[in-house]
Amino acid sequence: MNSPDRFRPDAAIGLRCEALLETVEPALNAEVAARLAEPRPPEDGLVLSADVAAELVARHNLADIRELMLLLVPFARNVARPPISNFTIGAVALERETGALLLGGNVEFPGANLGEAIHGEQFLSARAFSRGTSIAAIALEAAPPCGHCRQFLAEFRGGLDVDIITMQGHRIPLRDLLPWAFSPADLGEAGVTPLAPGSVRQSLAVVRSEIAEIPALEQALVAAGQFAYVPYGRAPSAVALRLVDGSVITGAALENVAFNPSLGPLQVALVNLIAAGRAYDEIELAVLGGVEKGAVDYSRDLPNLLATVAPKASFKRVVWEVA
């Protein structure tokens, strides 16, 4: 007996998406752009709250929030920065804990190695990680997540249950795209778990600082370092970016059980910078915090990536130890 093709799209969903893109998309895009332009803290950049998403579903007579996610995929392409491949990816995620929608895209860095490129699904994962949440579903245009992203998404607790939906009509749980997965459990780890505001994954004590005269910046950096997910390297790392107007964007290391799909702290910080609507050339100072002589050390690679995106920015370091 032939089994049904679980990868076959639902043609009705694809046809409805096409029709809605013609009739609803212009007004929807204008409203979403206006919502995202409203003043908000950096952590809420490129985020539509659950209440706003529900309003959009009702106002535009959509079937549900997942249909809204699909219609927002073309809009999310505006987030992407792929100057090497010119292959633009838009992606939308549903946060499991809040019901909010996150918008993201792929990011490439000319002059850096290709391994530092950030895939669209990684962008969304870095945003959820930085917000202390997890992802329940991801909407894409047509192509499924690459193997790199499948492994990356599986690092999150419940990651194999993430639904992948496409504008062509696919709806596939990640576990069907990554059968017999190599997961954090194979190394005795629980995976990335959501954290409440103010919670930490490890406590840190500063040993040496090149920014001791800027205590607020140092405090922001340490707070990010305490949030880092580093169960494999066990060397918490974080980056704080001070912008020309004095505002600060941070990012923490996000490791993966397979090592290579990991995101370094500067990559995560740049994701958060883009989400906050800020530009690379606004970065005047980047500070790396980390463990001296740790198993994982970003101090050699990070300056090169920094130089490709913000060549005029200064670079300083803070050394800490796990308390």
Question: What single string gives the DSSP state of each residue in 133-150?
Answer: --EEEEEESSSPPPHHHH
Q: How much is the CA Rg of the chain, to the nearest whole Å? A: 20
Structure tokens at 294: 């740790």
Structure tokens at 83: 């100057």
Residues 198 and 35: their CA atoms lie apart, in Å, by 27
Residues of the chain with pLDDT under 70: 1-5
β 283-291/314-322 pair status: parallel
Residues 97 and 166: their CA atoms lie apart, in Å, by 22
Q: Which CATH architecture has domain 11-187?
A: 3-Layer(aba) Sandwich (3.40)
pLDDT attached to residue 5: 66
Contact 254, 282 (CB under 8 A): no
Residues 149 and 133: their CA atoms lie apart, in Å, by 18
Provide the β-strand partners of residue 104: 91
pLDDT attached to residue 1: 43
pLDDT attached to residue 80: 98
pLDDT attached to residue 4: 55
Half-sphere exposure of 306 (CA within 13 A, CB side): 25
Segment 138-154, tens digit of pLDDT:
999 998 999 999 999 99
> Residue 279: what are its φ and ψ, rounded to 5°?
-105, 155
Q: Which CATH architecture has domain 204-322?
A: 3-Layer(aba) Sandwich (3.40)
Angle CA 159–162–166, to nearest 5: 145
Contact 317, 210 (CB under 8 A): yes
Q: What is the pTM of this model?
A: 0.97
Q: Which distant-in-sequence residues (6+ apart) come within 8 Å of 91 by Cβ?
A: 73, 76, 103, 104, 105, 120, 121, 123, 124, 138, 139, 140
Hunting for tokens 């990356």 — which residue is that? 152
Residues 2 and 301: their CA atoms lie apart, in Å, by 51
Structure tokens at 285: 């100072």
Nearest to 267 by CA among 286, 285, 284, 281: 286
Half-sphere exposure of 281 (CA within 13 A, CB side): 0
E strand map for 168-228: 171-173, 204-209
pLDDT attached to residue 196: 82
Segment 75-103, tens digit of pLDDT:
999 999 999 999 999 999 999 999 999 99
Q: Residue 258: how many CB atoms within 10 A of its CB?
A: 19
Catalytic residues: 121
Q: Which regions of the chain carry the CATH code 3.40.140.10?
A: 11-187, 204-322
Nearest to 271 by CA among 114, 156, 152, 109: 109
Residues 320 and 89: their CA atoms lie apart, in Å, by 37
Please give the single-letter amino acid code of residue 42.
Answer: P
Three-state SS for 205? Answer: strand
